[in-house]
Chains A and B, each alone.
Chain A
Amino acid sequence: MDWHQIWDIVSTPDNIPIVALFFLVPFYTWYAFRQGRANDRLIAQLEADPEAAKTHHRKTLPFKEGWTREVHVWPYLLRIEFLAAIIVTVILMVWSITLNAPLEEPANPNLTMNPAKAPWYFLGLQEMLVYFDPWMAGVVLPSLILVGLAAIPFMDENPLGSGYYTLKQRKWSITAFCFGFMVLWLAMIFIGTFIRGPGWMWFWPGQTWDHSRVIFEVNRDLPDLFHITSAWGKGIFGAVVVAAYYGIAGWLLHKVIARKGFNQRIYKRMSMLQYLIMQFFLITMLLLPLKMIIRHAFRIKYIWITPWFNI
């Protein structure tokens, strides 16, 4: 166990945000889920008792009959904002006094950094480079992430859970978002920071970063397993496999989505276009874990090989 190596990575000033996220994200997730559960209990209670539902103020927050519904921004909000600004300033000051921003040697095109890492917030994309070619990992998938995020409000037809924390009323969307945010984005960043060493090789935490390490890794392409050798054959075979993946994954997702009562109700509210777009984004999202599995378990690199691009 090389504690020194761990400390080297953790204490690198530029990695502080990732270490901070390690605590912040679980904390805020817990904070939100706790409120969500409290609201869920209230919802269950009100669903069971329609009479109470008519008169209840419907919040889990403190409530008294005579309270005004609104308060003045000055001072009730501005003092909080002012306090927040002061606290953030203090944090920044302490952080800036104790830790120096990194400054490496002057830029030198003849001396490649190893490992050459992107800024920490793009390490997820760099990690994706292991599983996809640069045009996918660096351009197409990031664009799809942005478009997919922007499309969320137009795909989510569930009218419940607007303006309050809840888990039960939005199981599906919260699961999907948390999977994307925590597993596909943050976990990839953690891997990129803590696991990937020289040559972008996999080093377990505590393993020394060996710069002369060589990994004997023979990757195969999926068509090779079926002894397909012609370019045409590979192209057509890949297209069929990818199409089949989208078909099967879509069908399985459809089973999960439209199986239960409430989901089915929301599903019926969606237009064909909304549903197909949602399916497309979900299936594409699952492409990453799928490629990770077939890469690590079966050493398969490409599924679809054409003269112009490989997936």
Chain B
Amino acid sequence: MADEKQNGKGGLIGVLEKVKGDTKDLKNRALDEIQSYKDVDKTQLYKSVFRVKHDESQRSRALGILTNVFLHLHPAKINRDAVRYSYTWGMGGISFYLFVVLTFTGVLLMFYYHPTKGQAYRDIMYLEADVPFGTLLRNMHRWAAHLMVITVWLHMFRVFLTGSYKKPREFNWVVGVVLMLLTLLLSFTGYLLPDDQLGFWAVTVGTTMAMNTPLLGYAGPFGAQLGMNQFNDVRFALLGGSIVDANALLRSYIWHCIGIPILISIFMAVHFWRVRKDGGISGPSPVMLESEIKELKRGAVVAPMKSGGR
């Protein structure tokens, strides 16, 4: 009995001691763990997201670029002179950044906009008067679009002046021309969307051109002879009608927000891919001398012209 009693008492004390001991252990463990979380980059969560170390070793710097989906379009290393602003003017990159800004502000604008006659104009009024930062949002979208047209032109100008379209980059220049066209079309399709006088008459002028397309427009050369009329020509296809009205607004909206952005994204992907595959950006490369031109070896397909000038 005494034994039992002792046991009982000892049991209670033992349990208490044990709990105390366990608590201390738990506390120490928790403290240890908290301590270990201070090394954030050692946690499983962190390592699952970032798979390389971010120290200053050569390897980590390279992997930081190569294992990041947003950065991996870059090579790990580039020519030391290629980072110079004087060579690239940064216009291609800025154009892309502006496209991102436009996508971002564009999506926000879409929340407030109905592409329907009557409602569209009111939406803009509402956006400017009632939506917090609505005016700023619309202004940014418009000015970024204008700026993108400018930067795309200057990019093209720079690429021409540095002869960067020459072998092996010919095809990427062609892709670039398509991108420039798509940039202009994106801007133009957005012009009608506020449904105001400015957009309406600009698009009226613009689609009058389509009406005059040779062969495919009813007012163009040989259009009438090919059976084109107001209701089946290329202008009708663009406007979804014979006048700039509700259907034109909807079509313009779809092209502006879905059609052309998808197309331009595809061409951009090819453009950036080809920059890498064609050997990175073209320079600044060492100058070449006239005396170093290698004479062309032509295949049987193309015969060089024999006679010199005159």
What is the interface of chain A, defined by CB distance below 8 A to chain B? 14, 16-17, 20-21, 24-25, 28, 31-32, 35-36, 39, 42-43, 46-47, 50, 53, 57-59, 61, 67-78, 80-81, 84-85, 88-89, 91-93, 95-97, 99-109, 111-113, 116-122, 125-126, 133-135, 137-140, 146, 149-150, 152-154, 156-166, 169-170, 174, 177, 181, 254-255, 257-259, 262-265, 267-273, 275, 308-309
In the complex, are the beta carbons of A113 and B78 less than 8 A apart?
Answer: no
Given A107-B197, A162-B164, A174-B161: A135 touches B174 (CB 8 Å cut-off): no
In the complex, are the beta carbons of B143 and A24 less than 8 A apart?
Answer: no
In the complex, are the beta carbons of A42 and B287 less than 8 A apart?
Answer: yes
Tell which of B89, B284, B310 touches A258, judged by Cβ atoms closer than 8 Å.
Answer: B310
In the complex, are the beta carbons of A139 and B79 less than 8 A apart?
Answer: no
Given A70-B78, A119-B187: A36 touches B161 (CB 8 Å cut-off): yes
In the complex, are the beta carbons of B201 and A113 less than 8 A apart?
Answer: yes
In the complex, are the beta carbons of B202 and A116 less than 8 A apart?
Answer: yes
B213 at the interface (CB under 8 A from A): yes
List A contacts of B243 (CB < 8 A). 109
B227 at the interface (CB under 8 A from A): no
Tell which of B149, B170, B198, B303 touches A121, judged by Cβ atoms closer than 8 Å.
Answer: B149
Closest to B207 in A: A138
List A contacts of B165 (CB < 8 A). 152-153, 156
7 contacts between A and B (CB under 8 A): A61-B284, A105-B196, A134-B212, A139-B220, A153-B174, A177-B160, A269-B304
What is the interface of chain B, defined by CB distance below 8 A to chain A? 58, 61-62, 64-65, 71, 74-87, 89-90, 93-94, 97-98, 101, 121, 124-125, 128, 135-136, 138-144, 146-147, 149-150, 153-154, 157-158, 160-167, 169-170, 173-174, 177-178, 181, 184, 187-188, 191, 194-202, 204-206, 208-214, 217, 219-222, 225, 243-244, 282-291, 293-294, 296, 298, 302-305, 308-310
List A contacts of B298 (CB < 8 A). 271
- B-side interface mostly: helix
* Alpha-carbon distance A156/B165, docked complex (angstroms): 9
Tell which of A67, A99, A263, A271 touches B143, judged by Cβ atoms closer than 8 Å.
Answer: A99
- Nearest CB of chain A from residue B192's CB, rounded to whole Å: 8
List A contacts of B173 (CB < 8 A). 150, 152-153
In the complex, are the beta carbons of A262 and B79 less than 8 A apart?
Answer: no
In the complex, are the beta carbons of B197 and A95 less than 8 A apart?
Answer: no
- A-side interface mostly: helix
* Alpha-carbon distance A109/B245, docked complex (angstroms): 9
List A contacts of B74 (CB < 8 A). 73, 77-78
In the complex, are the beta carbons of B288 and A159 less than 8 A apart?
Answer: yes
Closest to B202 in A: A118
Closest 6 pairs (CB-CB, A-B)? A258-B309, A138-B209, A163-B283, A163-B285, A58-B286, A153-B170
In the complex, are the beta carbons of A255 and B157 less than 8 A apart?
Answer: no
A-B contact count (CB 8 A): 320
List B contacts of A84 (CB < 8 A). 90, 93-94, 97
Given A73-B78, A164-B287: A126 touches B205 (CB 8 Å cut-off): yes
Known pairs A107-B197, A135-B212; list 20 more (Cβ under 8 Å): A14-B146, A17-B147, A43-B289, A46-B287, A70-B79, A71-B83, A73-B65, A78-B74, A92-B143, A97-B136, A100-B135, A101-B139, A134-B211, A135-B214, A160-B290, A163-B285, A165-B161, A166-B287, A169-B290, A262-B290
Tell which of B61, B84, B154, B310 touches A74, judged by Cβ atoms closer than 8 Å.
Answer: B61
In the complex, are the beta carbons of A121 and B75 less than 8 A apart?
Answer: no
List B contacts of A120 (CB < 8 A). 146
- Nearest CB of chain B from residue A104's CB, rounded to whole Å: 4
In the complex, are the beta carbons of B64 and A74 less than 8 A apart?
Answer: yes
* Alpha-carbon distance A264/B308, docked complex (angstroms): 6
Tell which of B97, B139, B166, B205 touches A162, judged by Cβ atoms closer than 8 Å.
Answer: B166
Tell which of B76, B93, B184, B244 touches A81, judged by Cβ atoms closer than 8 Å.
Answer: B93
In the complex, are the beta carbons of B289 and A53 less than 8 A apart?
Answer: yes
* Alpha-carbon distance A17/B143, docked complex (angstroms): 9
